[in-house]
Structure 1
Amino acid sequence: MSNKSRHRRLLFMMGLVLFSLLGSIWISSNSGMTVYADSKTNITQNGTGSGTVINQQEEPQISTVNSNTTDNTSSSDDQTSQKQVTNTEAQPRAPTDNNQPVQEDRNYISNSQYSTSNSGANTNQGPSVNSISKNNSSPSAYNKGTNVDITITNQRSSTKEISGGGTTEFKFDFSVPDSAKSGDTTTISLPDQLDFQRSQKFNIYAPDGKTVVATAVIDKPSKSLVLTYTDYVDSHDSISGHIDMQVMAATSEVNKEETIPAEIKINGHTVTIDSSGIKHRPSKGDTATDFWKYGYVDYDNNKNEIVYHVNINASMQNVSNVVISDSLVSDGFSYVPGSFSISKGNWERNSENYWRLSNPQDVTNQHNININSSNNAYTVKLGNISEGYAIVYRVKSNHPLLNGELVENDVSYKSNKKVINSSINRVLYQEANGKANGYNYSLTINKEDESGAPLANAVFSVIRKSTNGVVGTITTGPDGRGTIYGLLKDDYIIRETSAPSGYTLAKDVIVSADSFDSRGATATITDKKAVTTVSGTKTWKDNNDQDGKRPDSIKVNLLANGKVVQSKTVTASDNWKYSFTNLPEFENGKKITYTVTEDAVAGYTSTVDGYNVTNNHTPATVKVSGTKTWNDNNNQDGIRPSSITVNLLANGQQVASKKVSASDNWQYSFDNLAAYANGKKITYTVTEDAVAGYTSTVDGYNITNTHNPTTPKKPQVPNNPTTPKKPQVPNNGNKVVPKDFTQGKTYDKTSRLPQTGDRSSIGMMFVGIVMLLLSLGLVVINRFTI
């Protein structure tokens, strides 16, 4: 054989050995063999050991508490049952497919709620999971997937009677044995007469709200709920929890009125939830109503939405001017856009006596659905109808719905503006889960002052944070405590709306869902004493300190109930403003009355308006008056004017003028003149506008005008009188022959003054007489001629 052949054979043998070795390892790791070891078994690190092998495990035993045990939380449960109200007109007919798929749900699961610690600690202190170090054998020594029995306590049902598709809620606490290991399971099953509401899956969390203690899977077809524990149970002890699950009558088994056993089975062992059982009443169908509404949570498609049905005119009568109005009563809900549909047809009863709309026609586009701006109310006018109508729409929650949350919706049916019928529909959100929930929680407020003393009569509004709706109020008693019941486990805002007398309102306090223990939460809120401020302004009314009497500062006093408690000096640098701060508003529970006064200021009177002080001072005034005197020989020359102007000067500056005449008796005065300016006395003087022909003199405030009349001058005789020239005879040859003097009357020669204008006046008179005579003559001639 060649070397090349030997090499090939050697490589083949090595590969065969390696293949065999890997096959052995694989077979060992996938072996289904489980070894049960007693206390004498010795297990080595390589997996071998010696001892007695236990071939048969004892049947597990279940520990239960008598179902008649007193329920300490009955009060809260009663409140829950009162709030879990479904539609009174007709039972919701939600889909009831028995083969619903398993749904994942992490939003509505909580951690363990009740502690059953072996240490004997007080179990009323809320959830407790004790972390310990377990010195157990290697996990490989235990059978993974072992059925673990749990201990059931505080078991109860929410209702004792159901009908049709109604449900009841089984509630119970449970504790897990310390022997439970990761992968172990507990199976909870229902009797034949009961069904789970639907298939679903949820987690049970540790107190941190994040670590999963166990997973729970509800399978409706097999009527089972299986808990599978995680590795959390390997490192923790005294684990306890709580489960709520909704059950209903199995219609395949129960179709008549009978009492159904209220019980479950734990790993095949029966545990009674309610010894009186559940009374089942078969549904009688819809009542003989003409208008009704129902709703249900769409768990299969969107469990944060509710589907509503409004059914109208089952009797199919002629009804005129029909208007349907709907409003969402619960806070935090709104209509789903585009979800509205309106159908009309004939109402008929089916085989189960429920109304159904036959031959429906979609008439949505024929009607206008008016939705308000807040998207929580609508109206639709159907007009005149004679057929049956159905309105279907969806409502969504703006917050995750909590188990046991009740959603209210109001609807009315009007004809010709008159209400024919109305209904309040309530839909209960229900989820199987691993925490106590529903309207089972309380919130207590401890109200105190800064010293820790309790304060009574504080009023608070409790606001659900997710919806911003007020769910109730709390008023503290003499011990400073107040409690509200029937709350969901959610976040709340505590808002003080009225503080005790003498205290200020506290800021809002947030109580988170994590603050609630098994049944409630407590918040301590401190109020501070009420304080106030007194402030005011000093006002001066003294014509801007005209007289210079204003002081540099004043003193304002603060009085509490009439007694001076503080004083303050106020100056111009403070803008004459003052304030007293951090003043107690109350004393011995009574409000303090604060007032202010002022120390007297010389020359001023003080008035108080509220906390403002006004100082009044009337400035001094003077009067300037005088007389005008004429020295003109009683106006001999007639040049005295009818009036003159007198000017008033203050410190040399003209400030006023006045006309003076004979009607004033040539007297004048200037009244109400300021005596001071900037604290200094004003000097007043008078002047006069110049008067032609007169000279003016002022004496104090009196004025004299002087005028001297003129005297005519004596005529003067010329020094060299001239002799008249002798008349010249004209050279034209014409001689003037003097006429002889005709003796007539004798005239006396008397000297007369020269006549000035008399002759011309006589001539004019003569001409006038001639003209008058001529006119008369013409009149006479004209008359005789005619």
Structure 2
Amino acid sequence: MKAKRQILSLLLALVMVWQGFSFANAEGSSNGTALLASENTYETTLSTGESTEKTALSTSENTNEAELFSTELEAYTASDSTVPMAAALSTSLESTGKQIEGAIYDPEFLINNDTPLQNGGSLYSYQNLQFKAKIKVRGLNIKENDYISIQLPKELKSTDTSFNISGTGGKTLAKGSYNETTKEILITFTKDAENYSGTDGEVYFNTRIDQEKVASTTSAPLKMEINGQTVINYNIEYQIVTKENPKSFYKDRDYKLYPLVDQDGNTHYLIHYTMTLDMRNIKKDSGATSYENIVFTDTLQSDALTYFDVKNHFTKLNLNQADIDKYAPVLRKGIWRSGAYQNGAWKNAPDDTDANRGNSWSLRNRQNPDDYAPAVADSPKYSADGRSFSYSLGTLAPDDGYELSYYVEINEAFKNGDKFNNSAELTGKGIVPAEKLRDFVVSEAGGFLNGQNFNIQIKKVGDDGKALQGAKFTLVNPKTKYTKTIVTDDSGIAKLENVLKADYVLTEVEAPKGYEKNSTPRTISKKDFEDSIANGSTVEVEVLNKKKEVKKKSTSFSVEKIWVLDPTLATNKPDKVTVFVLKNGVKDDNLSVELSAANDWKASFSNLPKEGADGGEIVYTVSEENIAGFNAAISGSDENKFTITNYNGGNVVIPVTKKWKGSGAHPDHLNVQLFANNEKVATYTLNEGNAWQHSFDMPKLDANGKEIRYKVTEENVSGYTATTQNDPATGYVNVFVNTKNDVPPTSPNGGGNGGGGNGGGGNPPKPSPNTPGTPTEPTPGNVLGKNRDPESNPETVATVLGVDKTVPSVLGAGRGIVKTEDASRMPIYLLFFALTACGLTATVLYERKRAKR
């Protein structure tokens, strides 16, 4: 008996010592967490009334009002902080299998499936808290009905009553169930888990604060046990929010997905979004007295999302009328009133002042506040690509309120923790524009072991079997309008992963270079996905392209000789002249012709190849043998004809030629100007009728006998880049080449209309300050102004101006740290520790004294 008393005394003392250390450590390690750190909410413009207070419910959260504002909350007591062990094990004891150790590891809690919960952190009553851990089967000798017990702390409750943990081939390896009374999650393995050799996976389920156990903000333990062993032991600040912030402009979403099965047996996973607006609390322009052209605009940020709207024929699904109406977008208008639910019915507060307002807000009928606000519109205006919609609200009163409800669908295979983004914008006259970005994080209950998704792989080959890169395809779900674009790589493969099992249409929209587009639509059905399981769940599609028949380009042109003779000189022109054809400036001895009076000084060349052996373009020009006493001026191009003008004596012939490059139409005429000693002396209009060429016949000397300096310019042509070609050795000079730009340039002077057609023109340009040299024989090209410096000749060079469009940054609202440590209690804990130590010492001395007796 004596020994028992000693052992009992020592145990009691040790318990008191441990309790003192625990309390002191719990208070001292409470460092706090960032307020609402798990909320990825970025606001371009913060509306008034949206600041988050400790006792105010953030308008970004969907909280069940009946749960949040229950009047039957139980008071929290320290003696009720754990669930009795007998109750906790009641479910496990009913299992016929054995308890499996080591199957779950690396457990953690995630706030809103995003931010890890840490010791000393805060958890708000409106936040979702997901438990997540690794799970394995291999090497554990698991049999059917073996189980794992996960015990929740009293302060939490699970929002998931049952879930499955899947494996390869759609097998269910384990089933999870939740006992609301004992707060135990029991994971029971199935027959398929026996001898399963798949890789490790994950298990997860959702919880939140049980407000029947935690009625007010308090600090308490969060202790999680697996098979009776503590795996998480935190001290947490449980923040109980009782009052919702006033409404403003806000975008919200539910935390859970809404699975909807259509009448064809397809499951659609929907996200529910809401937008709210209270004109009393938005920012307004200074001095504004009216608010006009107010517009709601919603935009899908994630490619996997599409709007779900069968009622307005945006989505084409086989649904019953009840589901069509339930999931259709609806816009309601009224006035926001504060109040509370009493016995399931809404009760308005006496007024909405801070002193008298209720805990929550509801959009009420302006004429009858006892009724919910009526719907005013249910058909949004969708954009052409289906990626956004808008509602035009028109002119609003200063206290008007709106609430928009709508659903979007996830069209790709997803997993727990995947994030999808959406945004909303409010614009109008008299208000400050505002934007809200809102994410949705998938928070499922369940798990997987070596799970798999469906894929689509496209193989693109030519008719010679060669893999083709650069083929672009679109995959479209015609019922949901989900569209995905993919392009084949250098192996001719384009692969799309994580595809939901549905009916799709695959279409080639762009063929590889040099191949004909195979635009025949291909249907990929649900059965194709089911049949692909044996092939790694990948649907393979091979698409063949035929090589384009390349038509060899050719050209034909004529050549004509004109004589300009000085009447004061004796005629000494030859009887015949040999003309040569040049390929890219190189004489081809096999292409020549004799011009004479017999053929009227004309000849032609037909069907000359326009491309060389390397595929490059061949540019043809002409030249002739030197003629004593004559100079040559050549104009024209291989697109139609060349003109060779021979002149002598006191005249100068100045040729000019226009060439157009690039696809599409070009101006139908263009003016060129001739300047003599920087004075404009002639203007000529080039067009198709004169083969875009001309020769100016001008005097060589002025009245004082000085040689005249001539220069030719052309009008500026908007949308083209101008260059020149000059070959003084042959007299083929003043060739103006205008190449169409891919993007039409913006002229700082607004262009002009002198050029006609697609652009160009304006007033004739001023001559270049560069003075052309004095013409000398037999190289008249030297007088024709070879220098075409763009800086000195702005009239011949089109300037393309780019516009730098900077994407505005979206700024997030910074949130500070909430300090939860209370150091003022440390002296009390030290006093408890000292008393415990004194009690222990007294007990030991008393027992020794008794032993001596």
Report the TM range for the smaller structure's normalisation: 0.3 to 0.5
Higher relative contact order (CA 8 A, sep 6+): 2
TM-score by length of 1: 0.41
Task: Please tell me whether Structure 1 or Structure 2 has the larger radius of gyration of its CA atoms.
Answer: 1
Q: Could you tell me the TM-score, scaled by structure 2's length?
A: 0.38
